[in-house]
Amino acid sequence: MNQEPRTSRVSENTEPPSRGPQLSEQVAQRLSDAIQAGEWSRGARLPTEAALGERFGISRSVVREAISMLRNGGLVTSRRGSGSFVAEAPTVSLRLAIPDPDLQSVVEVLELRRPLEVEAARLAAERRTPSQLRRIRNAMADIDEAVEAGLSGVDQDLAFHRAIAEAANNSHFTAVLDFYNRFLHQAIRVTRTNESLRDTFMQQVVAEHQAILDAIATGDAEAAARAAATHLEHAETRLRQAPTDLLERVEAQRGPASVSSTESTGGNSR
Amino acid sequence: MNQEPRTSRVSENTEPPSRGPQLSEQVAQRLSDAIQAGEWSRGARLPTEAALGERFGISRSVVREAISMLRNGGLVTSRRGSGSFVAEAPTVSLRLAIPDPDLQSVVEVLELRRPLEVEAARLAAERRTPSQLRRIRNAMADIDEAVEAGLSGVDQDLAFHRAIAEAANNSHFTAVLDFYNRFLHQAIRVTRTNESLRDTFMQQVVAEHQAILDAIATGDAEAAARAAATHLEHAETRLRQAPTDLLERVEAQRGPASVSSTESTGGNSR
DNA sequence: TTTAACATCTTGTCTGACAAATTCGGAGCA
DNA sequence: TGCTCCGAATTTGTCAGACAAGATGTTAAA
């Protein structure tokens, strides 16, 4: 019947939905534009799905898909029985593709992380609470424990660094570092698995961690920053010393259907 | 008839969908878990929507909503007539709420930006190409021009800093700084509009910018880092000196329908 | 072998219905 | 009057079935 609403229906607001990309995408874009143009202010209720469907000359399904996109984008929230509302605090999002990790992209990420971790260590030395200091100590002990148990200790290593970031008492540091951790997780796993076979490397790592911890414990901000900088420079060096191993492992993972031993998806975070 | 699939239907894979959050959310989560557990490898085609609906004991609508979420999350892509596929390079995303900016949250963001901008300046001094250097120079000239024209110069100021980040030749720096720029845009606008009325402030800013530019031009990495650090510390000082003004302006903006001119939903591409 | 038409499959959109939760107004009562 | 409680109306969430639009693979023809 109205399989051709684009010709028969007169939408009171805009031209008929043109052929092109996804219809629901167009609608989502137009809604987004309308919201950001201030047609509805923060926290205000949007028209009902039925009303929006009539306004744009489309079915409720498409309206729902469009609103679903905006909801995923953090621009609106919906409450069953009540309606959909413009979000009180719209969000921006930063996205990072996770390709098959190559040395180059890992190095670039580390380059960004270094100043962040250094600053986090500095702030942690100034601001850490006693309980946060305890947590850092425990995390460091966990690394030893894991390594002695024959594990790679990667998760524990990341937890150590995360505990420091938390002690900086600025949530943006943990947020950004967590964000890039998801990228680094796999690469670090490969490298450290390799490292863990070499005792000298592990001894270095332990000593460097200890230096950071000591500086944070005594509240020496500059020493903490220096120790962190040293640690991260050495980490990059260690990474570069095993490039062939890294690439081989990555290569090997691409072939088969990737049984992907990670299985840590829900592991450390959830 | 089967309005009660949660009791009558035996899903071959999991327990019946429990009462709780959104059904489509649960399904999206389980699909996401399955993908990251390697059930389908990168680029592989997912089961059809009908098949997934049967597997989870839900209707196609819910499957579609769930897949829509994953699509928005960059985890899958869909092609009409062909199917839905696991993304070749899955993405992780970092999200940041943009509330009514208060001094505290602005300071926290600046605290994170500082080490990043300092490092970017250092890298820019080492790596900038001649054309990148030209672009930084032009951006700096644009600030003067805008200020003399009576504008706030905020956009040009951000462009200057962005040009430096670009000259670091590491895309992660521009990505993260752009990300937080969207948060700071409004706050900076308010503050600088205020600053621009005070010539002393503008003279300071110009001098500090000049110092950064000179260091980058001569390739002195440490001097560039120092100059950037100084600039950002002073910027924070200037910000703190006008807290009452900032808060008043923010307060005033909450009333009307808040014509926010920035940012788009799915990104800057469309 | 190459090309063109066809059958089939899959996602996108439309329609209609009911379930579940919220909102609002009025009945009843103190 | 002011308050509580209950039911009707409203609105999003889910279900079901259908067709449109595009992709894929097969078959028939040249």
| Each residue's pLDDT tens digit, B143-186 | 888 888 877 777 888 899 999 999 999 999 999 999 998 888 76
Best CA proximity match to B245, nearest among B196, B190, B201, B189? B190
Best CA proximity match to B104, nearest among A176, A118, A91, A172? A172
| Each residue's pLDDT tens digit, B6-33 | 333 333 344 444 444 678 999 999 999 9
For residue B146, what pLDDT is reported? Answer: 86
Query: Per-residue confidence at B45, pLDDT binned at 50, 70, 90?
Result: very high
Concatenated DSSP letters for B208-230?
HHHHHHHHHHHT-HHHHHHHHHH
The answer to whether the CB of A212 falls within 8 A of the CB of A231 is yes
Question: Does any CB of chain A come closer than 8 Å to the CB of residue B166?
Answer: no
Q: Which has more confidence, B1 or A180?
A: A180
Paired with B76 in beta bridges are B86
Residues comprising chain B, all counted:
270
List chain A pLDDT tens, one digit each, 270 residues.
333 333 333 333 444 444 446 789 999 999 999 998 989 999 999 999 999 999 999 999 999 999 999 999 999 999 999 999 999 988 888 998 887 777 888 889 999 999 999 999 999 999 999 999 999 999 999 988 888 887 777 788 889 999 999 999 999 999 999 999 888 876 655 555 554 445 667 788 899 999 999 999 999 999 999 999 999 999 888 877 764 444 444 444 433 333 232 222 223 332
Mutation test of the interface with chain A: which of B25, B79, B112, B236, choosing the one with the most A Cβ atoms within 10 A? B112
- B254 Cβ within 7 A of any nucleic strand D atom: no
C-alpha pair distances (Å), A23 with each of A154, A185, B81: 45, 38, 15
For residue A175, what pLDDT is reported? Answer: 96
Amino acid of residue A211: A
| Each residue's pLDDT tens digit, A111-125 | 999 999 999 999 999
The answer to whether the CB of A154 falls within 8 A of the CB of A111 is no
Q: In a 3-state reduction of DSSP, which class is residue A94? A: strand
Say how far residue A170 (Cα) sits from the centre of its chain: 16
Q: Which has more confidence, B123 or B240?
A: B123
For residue A187, what pLDDT is reported? Answer: 60
For residue A191, what pLDDT is reported? Answer: 54
A42/B258 CB distance under 8 A: yes
Residue A260's region, left for phi above 0, alpha for psi from -120 to 50, else beta, is: left
Instruction: Say if strands B76-79 and B83-86 run parallel, antiparallel, or are unpaired.
Output: antiparallel
Chain B hits for A262, CB-CB cut-off 8 Å, are 36-38
For residue B154, what pLDDT is reported? Answer: 79
**Burial call B55-66: b when 16+ CB within 10 Å, e when fewer:** bbbbeeebbbbb
Best CA proximity match to A207, nearest among A140, A155, A110? A140
A50, exposed or middle or buried, with CB in 10 Å at 0-12, 13-18, 19+? exposed
Q: Which nucleotides of C are covered by protein (CB under 7 A)?
A: 9-16, 18-23
For residue B10, what pLDDT is reported? Answer: 33
Q: How far apart are CA A66 and CA A60, in angstroms?
A: 10
Is a pLDDT exceeding 50 seen at residue B62? yes
Could you give all domains of chain B from N- to C-terminal order, each with its CATH number?
Answer: 5-86 (1.10.10.10), 103-254 (1.20.120.530)
* Tokens describing residue A245: 């191993």
Question: Does any CB of chain A come closer than 8 Å to the CB of residue B268?
Answer: no
* Tokens describing residue B173: 């720096």
Alpha helix (H) residue ranges in chain A: 5-8, 23-36, 49-56, 60-72, 103-127, 130-148, 154-167, 171-195, 199-218, 221-240, 243-254
For residue B199, what pLDDT is reported? Answer: 65
Torsion of CA A143, B90, B182, B97, to 10 degrees: -70
Sign of the torsion formed by the C-alpha atoms of B105, B109, B114 and B117:
negative
For residue B27, what pLDDT is reported? Answer: 95
The answer to whether the CB of A123 falls within 8 A of the CB of A168 is yes
Paired with A85 in beta bridges are A45, A77
- Name the residue in chain B with its Cα closest to that of A73: B265
Nearest nucleotide (C1') to the CA of residue B57?
D15
- What's the mean per-residue pLDDT of chain B? 80
The answer to whether the CB of B182 falls within 8 A of the CB of B98 is yes
Separation of first and last alpha carbons in chain A: 49
| Each residue's pLDDT tens digit, B31-44 | 999 998 989 999 99
- Name the residue in chain B with its Cα closest to that of A169: B108
The answer to whether the CB of A170 falls within 8 A of the CB of A149 is no
Best CA proximity match to B128, nearest among B221, B229, B206? B221
Mutation test of the interface with chain A: which of B33, B71, B265, B269, choosing the one with the most A Cβ atoms within 10 A? B265
* Tokens describing residue B30: 């389980």
Residue A257 CB: number of other CB atoms within 10 A? 10
Measured in degrees and rounded to the nearest 5, phi and psi for residue A92 equal: -110, 155
Query: Per-residue confidence at B260, pLDDT binned at 50, 70, 90?
Result: very low
Axis-axis angle for helices A221-240, A103-127 (nearest 10) = 160
Best CA proximity match to B182, nearest among B150, B154, B143? B154
| Structure letter (DSSP) for residue A45 | B
Nearest nucleotide (C1') to the CA of residue A1?
C14
Amino acid of residue B237: T
For residue A244, what pLDDT is reported? Answer: 46
Residue B87 CA and nucleotide D25 C1' are separated, in Å, by: 24
